[in-house]
Amino acid sequence: MKFLLKIFLLIVALINVLVAAPISTSAKYAIIMDFDTENILLDKSAKSRIYPASMSKLMTLYILFEQISEGAISFDSEFLVSKKAWKKGGSKMFVEVGSYVKVIDLLKGIIIQSGNDACIVVAEGISGNEQAFADLMNVKAKELGLLNSNFKNSTGWPDKDHYMTPYDLALLSKKIIDTFPSFLNMFKEKEFTFNNIKQGNRNPLLYSYKYSDGLKTGYTDESGFSLAATALKSGRRLITVLSGMDSVKERRDETIKLLEWGFREYVNVNLFEKNEAIIEVDVWLGNKAIIELITKEDINFTLRKKNINNYSASVVYNNPIAAPIKTNIQYGKLVIKNTFKGTLTYPLYAKQNINKAGIFKKISSAFSYFIFGGYAE
């Protein structure tokens, strides 16, 4: 009854939602990923290799975040600035050769100022040289499931063998937010002053879209204007990656347009929480007559709003379940149809262990079941 009521209330609450409309973008490559479900709401050549430019720095940051979180280095650790780092062109935080720079400043120099020099300082500080750090980036990419990325440097400096895909960039962005949430606020800082030089954050959404809170821009002649962005609106987070645009304005406007479309045209349904009871089931010859089946994960899925009246949920199980019952064994499944990804299936487990009944309990339970069609406690 509880299960059916919950389904009914969800349908009633969302019954008047509008039908989803298609969207186009002038970006050559684009993806919109729902953060919670990882559903891809828009895919425009999202698994094609692109030159990621400074969006590559997200991997440099991931490794640095990981080193800090594991205690290998701290915000106050200092890295030496080499001549190579000092001389590097492109965007800079303007470190001085031979000086030592704190990790906290290097983080801001990469996130806010997109400093190529800061990336090389980090790469050399962690791995000894930039090539060894690039090798580490490739190892980490495989660990994270970025299956179509290859790094040749820490900065995104143009190289024909340095590439990612919009999908890999979206997945990496999700990994950063999931794994290192305490660092996310740094992406919202709008300016940073180092060596008496103040620079603004290059992410245009921070100044024009109130829901934006990161991540990283990119630009080279080869890649055009690019952006890996995330936004949080009404408790729902989206990630989008766009590449191959012709101007800063186009990059900003297209990103906002796609994010707003994703928020407007799709909805997530949070049907059950982890460990929440889904249904009560009879127990055959156990020391308890009833067992609750639970989910061991959040039941959270994406719907096109036009399909809000079409999805269905049902529980499949054998009744009764014979004792002994163990919490680590699957006894049923929750089947949800007509979601964004089609039919979803979630395993259901017993909420608690139940032992076999004693001989007198077995006799009374069997009698109750065969005469009355159920059990009495």
d(CA 344, CA 272): 14
**Cβ partners under 8 Å of residue 255, min gap 6:** 204, 205, 209, 227, 229, 240, 242
Peptide bond into 215 cis (omega under 30): yes
Virtual CA dihedral for 39, 45, 49, 55, nearest 10 degrees? -60
54 in active site: yes
**Which one is catalytic: 28, 44, 54, 82?**
54
Q: Would residue 208 show up in a list of annotated catalytic residues for this protein?
A: no
Nearest-angstrom CA–CA distance, 167 and 120: 25
Q: Up-side HSE of residue 172: CA atoms within 13 Å toward CB? A: 32
* Catalytic annotation present for 57: yes
User: Active site residue: 56, 91, 114, 365, which one?
Assistant: 114
Strands 299-304 and 197-200 come out as unpaired
- Which of the residues 57, 108, 152, 175 is marked catalytic? 57
Residues taking part in catalysis: 54, 57, 114
